[in-house]
Each structure stands twice: as structure tokens, then as C-alpha cells.
Amino acid sequence: MARLYDSRKRVLITGGAGFLGSHLVDRLLALGHEILCVDNLFTGTKRNIDHLRAHPRFEFIRHDVTFPLYVEVDEIYNLACPASPIHYQYDPVQTTKTSVHGAINMLGLAKRTRAKIFQASTSEVYGDPSVHPQPEDYWGNVNPIGLRSCYDESKRCAEALFFDYHRQYGLNIKVARIFNTYGPRMHPNDGRVVSTFIVQALRDEPITVFGDGSQTRSFCYVDDLIEGFLRLMETEDGVTGPINLGNPGEFTILELAEKVIEMTNSRSKIVHRPLPADDPRQRRPDISRAHSILGWEPTVPLSKGLDPTIRHFRELLGESAALSATGG
């Protein structure tokens, strides 16, 4: 798909020092745009953007999106929010504020500047789905008072806000529902299944599988996801979404554990633990809308995407070991 950008734009990316945000920063800089990267560094890290410190079209602001931001921009990608259970359950009230107040503040900025605005929503809006795979017109099966509700329900509220601003003020919105994504720059302690399994395998620790491991997930490589972001943002004004972005290839958690052990040549053994509360049994996107509207589908198979992801974690763990050895 040819790029529709015809001039340099000033683009704001909230959560820009995070896993997805930093990859998006790289892609947009490569396309010639000016980037304003905003992050409070709760789960993001300067390590992810250190290589851009001297870039003439890159600017970093440490800022929490629960407070208003007054800048001039042409486009906004709203990615700010802790996205793994360990991080979003650490301070659930703040998680809700980040999604809801953050959406209000970014929508207010878009309204003032007439910027096009993208919302990074999530497959968690579907909860523990009773429809499989999940199409965008499925309303979900979410526990509104459970341990995960701070994330699930605040993301659902953010979507409602985006569509109300679109209907009431005519904002040009783009809403993507992101399914499990993996790749380099994932946080080693985020509690997500890919990063957890790789770190455990590299340390030859037991691989912890919750339940019998028959629950399924789909795993999308980060480069494929970012391509989906760009294609959605480039659509004409009438295309709002929501649009599912993820890999429809489905794997059981046990299959993933076995593949990680094989690719890391690990001596780890698989151990089973009780399922966490509200853990969905199935999660797989119906991406027919992304295919028909965006001409998008993932191209990186799991085994190919795991290879650079494993290298990333080897490097991280190697640096950590070196620091420990020198007392750093």
C-alpha cells in the first residue's frame, strides 16, 4: 500500500517510549515526520528511544496524559496506558484515569488543533468472549467489577468518548483494537506470556503455564502491527474503525511454551499453576475488516518473529548480569 503522506507532519505519540510507541516513533521518523514523544515513563523507558536523542525531528516530553497538554500538532496517536496485567493492576485507579482522562485530554487537544487522532484500543474490550473469533460488531463479555476491569472498562469508555467526540464535534478519529503483540523492546517483567516464557527459558527456570495450557492466544509481530496503525491513520475521514489488528493464527499457551523452549535451547520444564481470575479462554481476531478496508494482514509467522524477540531478551539479561557482576 503506497504511503498517502504528501508533506511533513508534526505527530504526537503518547506512550511513545513504550514497546509499541517506540516502534511507531521509528517508523514515522523514517517517513520524514516530526515526532513529539510523550511518556511519563511508568512502563516506558528511555532505553527504547535513546538512539533518537540527537535526531533533529524528534522531541521527548516527560508528561502524564491525565493532565492537559498544550502543543500544536497535526496528528495524535494515543497509546498511553499500561497494557499488561502486572502493570495495570499495580495501580488500578491510575490505570482508569490514564485511559479515561487521557482520552479526554487528547480528544480536547485534537478538537482545538483539528488534528486527526488515533486510539490504541485493545482486544480486552471483548473480555472472555462468547463469540470466536471476535469481529468488531461483537459487544464483548466483560466483568465490570473484576481485577481486569480497570483496563477493560476504561478502554471501552475511551472508545465511547472517541465516538462521541466524532459525532458531536466532527473529529477525525481512528480506533484500532490491538490483539496480543510481541517483539523487541517488550518489558521483561510485564507478565505477558511471550516475555515471561522467554525470560524463564533463557534463565532455565520452570515455564509457568496457567491451567492446562489449552487456552489460546494469537500473536502479532510488532512490525506487522505498526504497519496496520499507519494504514488505518491514512484512511479517508469517514473510516473511523474500530478495526481489529492482530494475527488470526491461533496457538495454545502450551504450544507457545514448547516453541520457546525449543528456540532457546532451554533446559526449562513446564509447570502448571491455577488460572488467574477473568483470564479469557480464547482470543483471536476476525481481521476481515482490516483486510478489506486497509489491505492489511500480518506477514511475520510466530517462529520468525520470536527469533529477534529472543535476541532482545538475551541482550537485556546479559546486560543485567554484567551490571550485577560489577556491582552496578
Catalytic residues: 151
Angle between helices 193-202 and 302-326 (to 10 degrees): 60
Quick one: how many helices (H) and strands (E) in the chain? 9, 13
Nine cell digits for residue 238? 469517514
How far is CA 6 from each of CA 3, 31, 226, rounded to the nearest angstrom?
8, 10, 19
Instruction: Assign 322 to helix, strand or coil.
Output: helix
How far is CA 295 from each of CA 1, 53, 122, 182, 249, rounded to the nearest angstrom?
7, 34, 20, 22, 18
Cell 505477558 belongs to 192
The 10 Å Cβ neighbour count of residue 252 is 15
**Residue 15 burial (C-beta neighbours within 10 Å; 0-12, 13-18, 19+):** buried
